[in-house]
Amino acid sequence: MKKGIVSLLAVTTVLMGTGAVSAESLEEALAAAYESNPQLMAQRAALRATDEGVSQANSGFLPNLSGTYTYSERKGTQGSGSVVDTIDTQSDTYQLSLSQNLFNGFQDRHALRGAKNSVMAGRAQLQSVEQQVLLDAVTAYMNVLRDEAVVDLNKNNVQVLERQLQASQDRFRVGEVTRTDVAQSEARLEGAKSSLLTAEATLAASRAQYRRVVGHTPAGLDTPTGQPALPASLDEAIEIAMEMSPGVIAARYNEKAANESVKQARGALLPSVDAFARWDKSTTDGNAAFTLSQSDETRIGVQVSVPIFQGGARYSSVRRAKQTRSQRLMDIRQAERVAQENVFVAWDQYRAAVGQIKSTEAQVRASEIALEGVRQEAYVGSRTTLDVLNAEQELLNARVALVRAQRDEAVTAYSLVSAVGKLTAKDLRLGVAAYNPERYYDKVDTKFIGTDIE
């Protein structure tokens, strides 16, 4: 890839006579996307929300404590005939309740294990999004380089055809060519101008894509001079993907979480044992007809609840959990097949891109030789103006095909790295502070009070 990409800018530098000012490398663009891409930032927030499931599961092991205060007034009359009492009382009631589950069929234990597996699946999903964002950044970067080169090639072609038209007009004035030759040159020049406009529009779209993914407008991008480390063989690539593909990892942890959900649902069929303590205090005060009354009571006990029949809902929950587990097992197979497919496709596309570069480089060399020969033959009258125009167009097409093949080689190389699960900031050594998914998890897994987040 190094040789191909260097020749990409070498072509345009020779044609245009100027070099681009270096401002940003591919590694810098990837680092910027890693630190600021909204899609990646959103997935990190989603993982932090998943982390809270562990904190909520841990709460099932802790006691519940609640307090209640009630104030009431009673006003009116009571009695009949000549004996009527006025009622005017005020009551205060205090209640403090404490309960602690001692056994609930191990539902809390399985809920905690399921939550932890969901967190691991969420981390794998975050890695999947990270890989996609970085691959999008590579694609956008190489698209800009490709389209800048194509624009330069088309600008050069317009200049060449302008000189060709001027030469045709000069030769027409001295009778060496016909009006048809001049018209052909004019038509080819207008077509080149149209192609230049199309190339500039494509470049504008690629620059917009770059800004969306990376976060800023590209300016003077450096040409990459290397490529990421690639698997030595297709078998090695598949083996790595089966271990490191985030899609496969997420599917496996989701199946583990589903298995814990089955056990949790079964636990709801077992008895539940709770210890409780309650303190009640009430005070009633009023007018002379009603004397002051007080009560102060404390109760401590154990409650055993045995589910006998709840309309079949709990049994249905077990069956549903089992079906979900079956689904997750099939998800693993599907994820493994998708991972293998991605490796096969990326491997073949990369090999094809490498082969295309060799072919298009040979095509460019042959087209350059052919154009030079046609021009010399046209000078002595054995070739027409149309022959020269066609040879120039063939050379342009070959050069455009070359820069596109060089772009494809770079993108497919990174696509292969992504397919095996190693297109991450850590594996690429981008030189940025890697996001630590454990940091928030460690803060909240046993955080039982507080609403602040990061």
Tens digit of each residue's pLDDT (9 = 90 or more) over 180-222: 988 988 998 999 899 999 999 999 999 999 999 999 999 889 9
- Distance CA(211)–CA(231), nearest Å, equals 31
Enter the tokens of residue 387.
Answer: 């022959």
Percent share of the chain, pLDDT over 90:
70
Give the structural domain span for 340: 2-63+108-271+319-444
pLDDT tier for residue 382 given thresholds of 50, 70 and 90:
confident
Answer yes or no: is pLDDT of 284 > 70: yes
The whole-angstrom separation of Cα 172 and Cα 382 is 17
Helix axes 26-36, 38-58, angle to 10 degrees: 40
The answer to whether position 119 is within a domain reads yes
Which pLDDT value is given to residue 256? 98
Helix (H) or strand (E) holding 390: helix 385-419
Q: Which two tokens stand for residue 256?
A: 């583990």
- In a 13 Å sphere around the CA of 280, the CA atoms on its Cβ side amount to 7
* pLDDT score, position 113: 98
Q: How confident is the model at residue 287 (pLDDT cuts 50, 70, 90)?
A: low
What percent of the chain is predicted at pLDDT more than 70?
A: 92
Per-residue pLDDT, 290: 53
The three-class DSSP label of residue 449 is coil
* Residue 128, in any domain of the structure: yes
Cα–Cα distance, 269 to 94 (Å, whole number): 35
Which amino acid is located at 174 in the chain?
A: V
Q: Which two tokens stand for residue 317?
A: 């929950």
**Helix 107-173 to helix 26-36 angle, to the nearest 10 degrees?**
140
Laid out side by side, the sheet with 293-305 consists of: 64-80, 83-103, 272-286, 293-305
371 φ/ψ angles, rounded to the nearest 5 degrees: -65, -45
What whole-number distance in Å separates Cα of residue 139 and Cα of residue 417?
13
- 125 or 285, which is more confident: 125
Tell me the C-alpha distance between 12 and 15, whole Å: 5
The SS3 assignment for 63 reads coil
Look at residue 34 and tell me if it is in a domain: yes
Looking at residue 20, its pLDDT comes to 44
The residue among 233 and 387 whose pLDDT is bigger is 233
Q: Does residue 283 form part of some domain?
A: no
Give every CB contact of residue 47 below 8 A, 6+ residues apart in sequence. 119, 122, 123, 125, 126, 437
Q: In terms of pLDDT, which residue wins out, 13 or 334? A: 334
With contact defined as beta carbons under 8 Å apart, do 21 and 223 qualify? no
Q: Which residues contact 117 (CB under 8 A, 6 or more apart)?
A: 253, 254, 256, 257, 260
CA distance 257 to 325: 8
Could you write out the DSSP letters of every residue in 68-106? EEEEEEEEEEEEETTEEEEEEEEEEEEEEEEEEEEESTT
> Whole-angstrom Cα distance, residue 49 to residue 118?
11
Above 70 in pLDDT, residue 7?
Answer: no
List the CATH number of the domain containing 172. Answer: 1.20.1600.10
**Across the chain, what does the average pLDDT equal?**
90
Whole-angstrom distance, CA of residue 406 vs CA of residue 421: 23
What does the DSSP 8-state code read for residue 61? G
Could you tell me which of 353, 352, 409, 350 has the C-alpha nearest to residue 226? 409
Q: What are phi and psi of 131, to 5 degrees?
A: -60, -40
- The answer as to whether 96 is a domain residue is no
| Confidence band, pLDDT 50/70/90 cuts, at residue 17 | very low
Q: What is the pLDDT of residues 311-323, one digit of tens each?
A: 999 999 999 999 9
Band the pLDDT of 129: cuts 50, 70, 90.
very high
In the three-class reduction of DSSP (H, G, I as helix; E, B as strand; rest coil), residue 301 is classed as strand
pLDDT at residue 77 greater than cutoff 90: no
| Tokens (6 digits) for 369 | 């030789």
Q: Are 357 and 8 in contact (CB under 8 A)?
A: no
pLDDT (mean) for 352-364: 92
CB–CB of 280/94 below 8 Å? Answer: yes
In DSSP notation, 209-222 reads: HHHHHHSS---SBP
Query: In this predicted structure, what is the pLDDT of residue 13?
Result: 40
The answer to whether position 301 is within a domain reads no
CA atoms within 13 A on the CB side of 48: 15
Residue 159 in this model has a pLDDT that exceeds 60: yes
Question: Within a domain: residue 32?
Answer: yes
The answer to whether position 365 is within a domain reads yes
Does the pLDDT of residue 309 top 60, yes or no? yes
- Measure the CA–CA gap between 347 and 349, rounded to whole angstroms: 6
Count of domains for the chain: 1
Q: Tell me the C-alpha to C-alpha distance, in Å, between residue 315 and each of 67, 114, 427.
A: 35, 20, 47
How confident is the model over 404-445, as pLDDT tens digits?
A: 999 999 999 999 999 999 999 999 999 899 999 999 999 999
Instruction: In whole angstroms, give the CA distance from residue 206 to residue 215.
Output: 13
Report the pLDDT averaged over residues 332-352. 97
Does residue 73 register a pLDDT over 90?
Answer: no
DSSP state of 184: H
Residue range 311-340: mean pLDDT, rounded: 97
